[in-house]
Chain A
Amino acid sequence: MKLTFKEKMKNYLTTKRIIKISVILVAYILLAIFTTNNMYSLLRLTLFSAVPLALVAMGGLYSERSGVVNIALEGIMMFGAFIGILVLHNLQDKGIDGQHILFLALIIGGIAGMLFSVLHAFASITMKSNQTISGTALNMLALALAFFVGRALSAAGTEEITFRDSYRISEIPVLKHIPFLGDILFERIYLITLFGIVLFIIMALIAYKTKFGLRMRACGENPQAADAAGINVKRIRYIAVIISGLLAGIGGVLLIIPTTTSFKANVYGFGFLALAVLISGQWKPVRVLIFALFFGLLRSLANGIAFIEADLQNIPFLYNMIRALPKDVIEMLPYVVTLIVLGLTSVKSRAPKAAGEPYDQGKR
Chain B
Amino acid sequence: MKKIFNSNAFEKMLATLIAIVAGLLFGLVIMLLINPSMALGGFGAILSAGFLNGGESLGEVLFKATPLIITGLAVAFAFKTGLFNIGVSGQLMIGAFFAVYVGVRWNLPPSIHWLVAILAGIVGGMVWALIPALLKAFRNVHEVVATIMMNYIAMYTSKMLIEATIYDTVRQEARPVLSGAVLPTLGLDKLFGFNQLNSGIIIAILATIVIYILLEKTTFGFQLKAVGFNRNAARYAGVNDKSNIVYSLLISGALAGLAGAVLYLAPGSGLKLETTHQISNYGFQGIAVALLGMSHPIGTMGAGLFFGYIEAANQELQAWDFKREIIDIISSSIIYFSAFTLFFQRYSHKFMVWLGKLFGKKEVEVATETVNDEKENGGNDNETNV
Q: Are B325 and A342 in contact (CB under 8 A)?
A: no
Which B residues are CB-close (under 8 A) to A71?
A: 144
> Would you call B131 an interface residue if the criterion is a C-beta within 8 Å of the partner chain's C-beta atoms?
yes
Interface string of B62-100 (1 = CB under 8 A from A): 000000000000000000000010100000000000000
Which B residues are CB-close (under 8 A) to A132?
A: 84, 144, 386
Q: Are B339 and A336 in contact (CB under 8 A)?
A: no
Q: Which of A100-141 contact B (CB under 8 A)?
A: 119, 123, 127-130, 132-134, 136-138, 140-141
Q: Are A148 and B340 in contact (CB under 8 A)?
A: no
Q: Which of A126-177 contact B (CB under 8 A)?
A: 127-130, 132-134, 136-138, 140-141, 143-145, 147-149, 151-152, 157
B interface size (C-beta, 8 A): 47
State which of B154-162, B166-174, B235-243 sits at the interface with chain A. B154-162
Taking A335-B153, A338-B149 as contacts, is the C-beta distance between A141 and B333 under 8 angstroms? Answer: yes
Taking A279-B145, A332-B153, A347-B140 as contacts, is the C-beta distance between A138 and B135 under 8 angstroms? Answer: no
A363 to chain B, nearest CB (A): 10
Q: Are B329 and A339 in contact (CB under 8 A)?
A: no
* Bound complex: CA A339 to CA B150 (Å): 8
State which of B104-112, B217-225, B284-292, B352-360 sits at the interface with chain A. B284-292
Number of A-B contacts (CB under 8 A): 141
> Would you call A36 an interface residue if the criterion is a C-beta within 8 Å of the partner chain's C-beta atoms?
no
Which B residues are CB-close (under 8 A) to A343?
A: 135, 139, 141
* Bound complex: CA A127 to CA B151 (Å): 31
Q: Which of B311-351 contact A (CB under 8 A)?
A: 323, 325-326, 328-329, 331-333, 335-336, 338-343
Which A residues are CB-close (under 8 A) to B288?
A: 137, 140
State which of A80-88, A208-216, A269-277, A310-318 sits at the interface with chain B. A269-277
Which B residues are CB-close (under 8 A) to A137?
A: 288, 291, 332-333, 335-336, 338-339
Q: Are A152 and B35 in contact (CB under 8 A)?
A: yes
Which A residues are CB-close (under 8 A) to B325?
A: 144, 147-148, 151
Q: Are B139 and A347 in contact (CB under 8 A)?
A: yes
Considering the complex, give the chain A residue whose CB is closest to the CB of B159: A328
> Would you call A260 an interface residue if the criterion is a C-beta within 8 Å of the partner chain's C-beta atoms?
no
* Bound complex: CA A62 to CA B386 (Å): 24
Which A residues are CB-close (under 8 A) to B156?
A: 328-329, 331-332
B28 to chain A, nearest CB (A): 13
> Would you call B146 an interface residue if the criterion is a C-beta within 8 Å of the partner chain's C-beta atoms?
yes
Considering the complex, give the chain B residue whose CB is closest to the CB of A146: B325
Q: Are A151 and B323 in contact (CB under 8 A)?
A: yes
Which A residues are CB-close (under 8 A) to B369?
A: none
Considering the complex, give the chain A residue whose CB is closest to the CB of B338: A133
Q: Are A123 and B146 in contact (CB under 8 A)?
A: no
Taking A130-B339, A151-B323, A342-B141 as contacts, is the C-beta distance between A143 and B328 under 8 angstroms? Answer: yes
Chain A: number of interface residues, binned into ranges:
35 or more
> Would you call B34 an interface residue if the criterion is a C-beta within 8 Å of the partner chain's C-beta atoms?
yes
Q: Are A342 and B145 in contact (CB under 8 A)?
A: yes
> Would you call A346 an interface residue if the criterion is a C-beta within 8 Å of the partner chain's C-beta atoms?
yes
Taking A127-B340, A129-B339, A133-B386 as contacts, is the C-beta distance between A335 and B152 under 8 angstroms? Answer: yes
Which A residues are CB-close (under 8 A) to B323?
A: 147-148, 151-152, 157
Q: Are B336 and A145 in contact (CB under 8 A)?
A: no
* Bound complex: CA A143 to CA B383 (Å): 26
The one of A129, A151, A272, A344 in contact with B145, judged by C-beta atoms closer than 8 angstroms, is: A272
Q: Are A342 and B146 in contact (CB under 8 A)?
A: yes
The one of A147, A269, A339 in contact with B328, judged by C-beta atoms closer than 8 angstroms, is: A147
Considering the complex, give the chain B residue whose CB is closest to the CB of A151: B323
> Would you call B364 an interface residue if the criterion is a C-beta within 8 Å of the partner chain's C-beta atoms?
no
Q: Are B339 and A123 in contact (CB under 8 A)?
A: yes
Considering the complex, give the chain A residue whose CB is closest to the CB of B155: A332
Which A residues are CB-close (under 8 A) to B141?
A: 339, 342-343, 346
> Would you call B30 an interface residue if the criterion is a C-beta within 8 Å of the partner chain's C-beta atoms?
yes
> Would you call A349 an interface residue if the criterion is a C-beta within 8 Å of the partner chain's C-beta atoms?
yes
Considering the complex, give the chain A residue whose CB is closest to the CB of B291: A133
Which B residues are CB-close (under 8 A) to A130?
A: 339, 382-383, 386
A148 to chain B, nearest CB (A): 4
Taking A127-B339, A339-B146 as contacts, is the C-beta distance between A148 and B159 under 8 angstroms? Answer: no
A-B CB contact pairs (8 Å), 26 listed: A123-B339, A123-B340, A129-B340, A132-B84, A136-B335, A138-B336, A140-B287, A140-B332, A140-B335, A141-B329, A141-B336, A144-B329, A144-B332, A147-B328, A148-B323, A148-B328, A149-B34, A269-B151, A269-B152, A275-B148, A276-B145, A328-B159, A332-B153, A339-B153, A346-B135, A349-B140
Known: A141-B329, A335-B149, A344-B139. 8 other contacts (CB 8 A): A123-B340, A129-B339, A130-B383, A137-B339, A151-B323, A275-B144, A331-B156, A338-B145
